[in-house]
DNA sequence: CTCTTTTATGAAACCCATTTCATTAATTTA
DNA sequence: TAAATTAATGAAATGGGTTTCATAAAAGAG
């Protein structure tokens, strides 16, 4: 069952395909009676022009490729929502893929998006030293970016010239650590994610700098790097609690880690924030519904998505854009942190 | 800067485009020396065939359209993950859109997917009485489904002939209510979502039936319908707690509602499950990390997505498929429910 | 050493819409 | 009324591949 084409309509209406096209797009005047005849046929056959043919000719698809690391982490759907809202208004749709940190899959999808001739690409989540570790992906990414407008969202890739839109994660982490220091904490640990991800690396660096500047203890065993999941947070916190020298507060690479950390603390019989303060990052929707409500750093995921699409749009229009677009995060103090109370035994 | 085409390669290699195509696809033997020459050019120009042209000719895009109500609710990303995994193996990618229950947007996207000639459509979230309430969307959906293989995921639409893959949500709710009854609860409330959504309607009906069969109280003021968000759960629970006759247990339309309900209870100074039992639905990843861990009904979101893609694949291959594919949910008992203790004052 | 296959290749048709160019018909202007 | 616009339409080129058909060259069979 072949679909109806513009030729079928033209034939039946005794006009040329050019005329049907003109009715369809209103690109040139068509006699009223002709238009009516054609429109009636379009209606009755429920004809819809073939987008592929149009795309081929116009050399644009109206599709933006989006590669996210893990849609299962509520932060990304939030970014997606922001991006989608903006894209929808501009008439774009998303070809979406979940990479789950799988290099091969990422490379695969990048390839595929090029083949599908998407109009632009949003690549979320950067890597440190990508070139050394994954030359294939790095190469693919650069090749694609040289042909299709591409923006890197919330990630950096060393030595690359990609345009990026990102939260100042370093500043955000500093906000979190400073908050804890102001609450009187001196023993602050860091729970991180995969160490090769730029997010994790940037946050760890910021954590170290603030502690160092404040002249506080910087123990290696308090600087953990695992992954971005809830379970990772749990594991890391368990580990911290097993140490003879325990921190009184913890900064986490994201809210999922923070939730896991709190869970582990509670399971170990501690209370948050009474016994230990925990601060997250991202401000996922759940952060202010969790018990206790999470003190966290908001990076306004929605804005991030919206901005990324905005920048991409400019690039697609051929405009020059700044290489970096930085968004400022801010601290949201809720219930998971509090003033340090001395536990004199 | 036009992209390299197969003609450019052919010209430079002094062969016809047919030969280049054969090298590209391995569809016919090509002399070794010719192949080498062509492959070298493909490499050096970093040529990638235009997918639009291929799609136009083959009349297939390798794209599946996916319409989800709200990616921000962790249940959907889970379904997506399952679907994507299956689709990726079959060589398909997703054109994704978030409808947020917006009829116009849904209709829009449906239209768009038809125009883009996606190979199949997964439509998530059904409506009751769609035909009466939203004739336009209903019509669009049926028209599209008559041209493009379409499966409805976890939703029913009255009087429609769409193929659907769904969890037996009625049975799942029954499981939840029965569990509470077995724990000794007699006063059980229901927190629902938007009443025109089939999910909500089906669950409410099941709740009523079980209570009725067990001869238990069925108060209208204990049957709430709001929305699927956390805040909705909160609002509804607050309302319940304001009643003179309070339930001792609550079944929720989803985990988000359950989390909100628990939050409201805790804010009102109650404990869950000591003072009131709460059971959710979906088993989102967070369910077993929330404090208290959620007793809930798992509908194996991953399987749902995987199955949906499987069925769609069969349809795309022209096979006949059953009209309904039902998956069995199961109860997961965790910490948010417990035996009713009599509070004799 | 012919005859039949098989291999290797190119020309051209095809997929379906858009758009330019040309042509004729209808108006408007001078 | 002739000249100049403007309206209305069609033929054909275009976009970038895949595939059929035809043909020439090479290989195998008898």
Q: What is the CATH number of the domain that holds A35?
A: 1.10.260.40
Query: Residues with Cβ < 8 Å from A306, sequence gap 6 or more?
Result: A82, A83, A85, A86
With beta carbons under 8 A apart, name residues in chain A contacting B230: 285-286, 289
Q: Decide if A265 contacts A275 (C-beta within 8 A).
A: yes
Q: Is residue A198 located within the same domain as residue A218?
A: yes
Would the CB atoms of A72 and B262 count as touching at under 8 Å? no
Partner residue facing B259 (CB), from A84, A97, A289: A289
Partner residue facing A56 (CB), from B49, B56, B84: B56
Q: Is residue B113 located within the same domain as residue B22?
A: no
Q: Dihedral of CA B111/B116/B119/B122: which sign? A: negative
The answer as to whether B338 is a domain residue is: no
Residues 66-105 of B with CB under 7 A from strand D: none
Token pair belonging to B87? 């689709």
Token pair belonging to A72? 């299962």
Q: What's the structural domain count of chain B?
A: 3
Q: Is residue B179 located within the same domain as residue B277?
A: yes
Would the CB atoms of A77 and B78 count as touching at under 8 Å? no
Residue B241 CA from chain centroid, whole number: 32
Q: What is the pLDDT of residue A246?
A: 94
Check which CATH number belongs to the domain holding B278 and give it. 3.40.50.2300
- Where b means 16+ CB within 10 Å and e means fewer, B290-309 reads bbbbbbbbbbbbbbbbbbbb
With beta carbons under 8 A apart, name residues in chain B contacting A98: 80-81, 84
* Owning domain of residue A135: 61-167+301-328
The answer as to whether A339 is a domain residue is: no
Distance CA A263, CA B290 (A): 8
Q: What is the pLDDT of residue A345?
A: 44
Q: What is the pLDDT of residue A25?
A: 94
Check whether residue A58 has its CB closer than 7 Å to nucleic acid strand D: no
The answer as to whether A42 is a domain residue is: yes
Token pair belonging to A126? 């950067």
Q: Decide if A289 contacts A255 (C-beta within 8 A).
A: no
Q: Is residue B155 located within the same domain as residue B208?
A: no
Q: Is residue A21 located within the same domain as residue A130?
A: no
Q: What is the pLDDT of residue A102?
A: 84
Would the CB atoms of B115 and A259 count as touching at under 8 Å? no
Check whether residue A114 has its CB closer than 7 Å to nucleic acid strand D: no
Q: What is the pLDDT of residue A265?
A: 97
Residue ranges of chain A whose pLDDT lies below 70: 1, 342-345
User: Nearest Cα to A48, choosing from B204, B184, B110?
Assistant: B110
Token pair belonging to A307? 């901005």
What is chain B's pLDDT, residue by residue, as a tens digit (345 residues)? 678 999 999 999 999 999 999 999 999 989 999 999 999 999 999 999 999 999 999 999 999 999 999 999 999 999 999 999 999 999 999 999 998 878 888 899 999 999 999 999 999 977 767 667 777 888 888 899 999 999 999 987 877 889 999 999 999 999 999 999 999 999 999 999 998 888 999 999 999 999 999 999 899 999 999 999 999 999 999 999 999 999 999 999 999 999 999 999 999 999 999 999 999 999 999 999 999 999 999 999 999 999 999 999 999 999 999 999 999 999 999 999 999 876 544
Q: Is residue B76 located within the same domain as residue B104?
A: yes
User: Nearest Cα to B259, choosing from B225, B224, B210, B296?
Assistant: B296
Q: Residue at minimal CA–C1' distance from C9? A: B19
Would the CB atoms of A230 and B93 count as touching at under 8 Å? no
Q: Please, which residues bridge with residue B93 across strands?
A: B63
Distance CA B56, CA A136 (A): 30
Q: Is residue B160 located within the same domain as residue B309?
A: yes
Q: How far is B23 from chain A (nearest CA, A)?
A: 17
Would the CB atoms of B262 and A286 count as touching at under 8 Å? no
Q: Residue at minimal CA–C1' distance from D12? A: A18
Q: Is residue B89 located within the same domain as residue B161?
A: yes
The answer as to whether A338 is a domain residue is: no
The answer as to whether B336 is a domain residue is: no
Q: Decide if B310 contacts B86 (C-beta within 8 A).
A: yes
Q: Is residue B198 located within the same domain as residue B257?
A: yes
Q: Which of residues 136-175 of B touch A (CB under 8 A)?
A: 143, 147
Distance CA A247, CA A183 (A): 14
Query: Residues with Cβ < 8 Å from A5, sequence gap 6 or more?
Result: A50
The answer as to whether B192 is a domain residue is: yes
Angle CA(A98)–CA(A99)–CA(A103) in degrees, nearest 5? 165
The answer as to whether B177 is a domain residue is: yes
Q: Is residue B202 located within the same domain as residue B262?
A: yes
Q: Which of residues 262-301 of B touch A (CB under 8 A)?
A: 262-263, 266, 285-286, 289-291
Q: Decide if A144 contacts A122 (C-beta within 8 A).
A: no
- Nucleotide in closest CA–C1' contact with A57: D15
Q: Is residue B207 located within the same domain as residue B191?
A: yes
- The spacing between the Cα labelled CA in B8 and the C1' in D23, in angstroms, equals 25
Q: Decide if A255 contacts A294 (C-beta within 8 A).
A: yes
Partner residue facing B72 (CB), from A55, A147, A285: A285
Q: Decide if B262 contacts A291 (C-beta within 8 A).
A: yes
The answer as to whether A334 is a domain residue is: no
Strand D contact nucleotides, protein CB < 7 Å: 7-12, 14-20
Q: Is residue B163 located within the same domain as residue B310?
A: yes
Q: What is the pLDDT of residue B280?
A: 98
Residues 25-64 of A with CB under 7 A from strand C: 25, 27-28, 49-50, 53-54, 56-58
């Amino acid at each position: 069952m072949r679909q109806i084409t513009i030729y079928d309509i033209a034939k039946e209406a005794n006009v040329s395909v050019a005329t049907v096209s003109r009715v369809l797009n209103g690109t040139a005047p068509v006699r009223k009676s002709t238009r009516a005849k054609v429109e009636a046929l379009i209606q009755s056959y429920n004809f819809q022009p073939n987008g592929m043919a149009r795309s081929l000719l116009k050399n644009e698809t109206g599709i933006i490729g989006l590669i996210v690391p893990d849609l299962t982490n509520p932060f990304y759907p939030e970014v997606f929502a922001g991006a989608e809202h903006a894209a929808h208004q501009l008439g774009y749709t998303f070809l979406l893929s979940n990479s789950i940190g799988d290099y091969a899959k990422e490379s695969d999808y990048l390839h595929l998006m090029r083949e599908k001739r998407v109009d632009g690409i949003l690549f979320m989540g950067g890597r440190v030293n990508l070139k050394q570790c994954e030359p294939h992906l790095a190469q693919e990414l650069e090749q694609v970016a040289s042909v299709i407008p591409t923006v890197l969202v919330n990630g950096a890739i060393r030595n690359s010239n990609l345009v990026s839109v990102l939260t100042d994660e370093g500043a955000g982490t500093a906000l979190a650590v400073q908050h804890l220091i102001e609450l009187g904490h001196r023993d602050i640990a860091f729970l991180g994610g995969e160490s090769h991800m730029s997010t994790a690396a940037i946050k760890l660096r910021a954590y170290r700098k603030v502690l160092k500047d404040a002249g506080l203890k910087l123990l290696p065993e308090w600087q953990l790097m695992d992954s971005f999941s809830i379970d990772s947070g749990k594991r890391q916190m368990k580990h911290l609690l097993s140490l003879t020298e325990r921190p009184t507060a913890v900064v986490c690479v994201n809210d999922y880690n923070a939730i896991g950390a709190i869970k582990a603390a509670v399971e170990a019989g501690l209370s948050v924030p009474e016994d230990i303060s925990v601060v997250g990052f991202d401000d996922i929707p759940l952060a202010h519904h969790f018990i206790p409500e999470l003190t966290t750093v908001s990076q306004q995921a929605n804005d991030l998505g919206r901005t990324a699409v905005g920048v991409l749009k400019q690039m697609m229009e051929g405009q020059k854009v700044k290489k970096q677009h930085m968004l400022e995060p801010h601290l949201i103090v809720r219930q998971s942190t509090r003033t340090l109370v001395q536990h004199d035994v």
